[in-house]
Structure formats: structure tokens, C-alpha cells
Amino acid sequence: MIDIDPDDIQWSAIRAQGAGGQNVNKVSSAVHLRFDVRASSLPDEVKDSLLQSRDQRISGEGVVIIKAQRYRSQERNREDAMARLREIVEEATAVTPERRPTRPTRASQRRRVDSKVRRGQTKAGRRKPGYE
């Protein structure tokens, strides 16, 4: 697990969207998290992996932007944003195993051909008599 330096993160509180009653226009409970991948203290391999990923939350300049507004309190939204950032970084560190190509077994090839022959016989049985 890779630690994310809190100094690499920029926070800004914003007003949440959607319905919220009388409180919605007074309290900035939603949170914008900005994490500059290039300027961060992450290992270079992780940075490269993050920058090459096709995640729409990563801008062209290499800044991860997460908007958290799921909860009514700013503190819970901060925790949610951090959890989502950790998830993005964990996905970038995951190494996919190299695929080893396999070949179909002789028995599976035989079953495939047999099923095709049976299917063709079924269809041939539906033709009108003397059709040839």
C-alpha cells in the first residue's frame, strides 16, 4: 500500500448540488480534492501508470480532481474523497499478470466440430423432401 502525502493534496470547500432544504445555500459541505500527480511524492512507476490511465478524473495536466458531495458533513466528504483517491492510486499500482496463450484441447475441438455437424443435420432435416 502506498502512502499519500497530505501536503500533496489541495482541498477546497464548495456548495453541494441538488436538493438540501434551507441549509443548502449557506453551508459549503461538498469538497474538491486536487492532487497533482507529477508534483507528488509517489514513486515514478506509479506516476507513469496514473498518467497513462484513461481515468476521466485525471486532467490533461496530470491533476486528479475528485468532487465529493455524497454526505452532508464536510468531514465525511473529505474522508470519501481521500478513499476514492487511494482507490485510484491502488488501481495504478496493481500489476496485471501476463496472459499466457492457451490452445484448445483435441477433445474440445472434436466436440465443437461434432456440434456443428449435428446442427447442420438438424437444419438439413427441415428442408423440403427432394430438395437437391
Domain presence at residue 124:
no
Cα gap 26→94, rounded to integer Å: 42
Cα gap 51→59, rounded to integer Å: 9
H-type helices in the chain, by residue range? 44-52, 74-93, 106-124
Please report which confidence band the pLDDT of residue 26 belongs to, taking 50, 70 and 90 as the band edges.
confident
In the structure, how many helices (H) and strands (E) does the chain have?
3, 3
Those residues with Cβ within 8 angstroms of residue 7's Cβ, 6 or more apart along the chain or in another chain: none
Domain presence at residue 17:
yes
Domain ranges, residue 75: 6-93
Considering only residues 104 and 63, tell me which one the structure prediction assigns the higher pLDDT: 104
pLDDT averaged over every residue in the chain: 84
pTM: 0.65
pLDDT at 131: 66
- Provide φ and ψ at 20, rounded to 5°: -165, 5
Domain presence at residue 32:
yes
Those residues with Cβ within 8 angstroms of residue 49's Cβ, 6 or more apart along the chain or in another chain: 92, 93
What's CA 64's distance to the chain center, in Å? 14
For 62-100, write each residue's pLDDT tens digit: 788 888 888 888 889 989 998 988 888 888 888 889 999
pLDDT at 107: 98
Domain presence at residue 130:
no
Domain presence at residue 25:
yes
Residue 92 in grid coordinates? 495504478
Domain presence at residue 72:
yes
Residue 67 β-bridge partners: 32
Residue 39: CATH number of its domain = 3.30.160.20
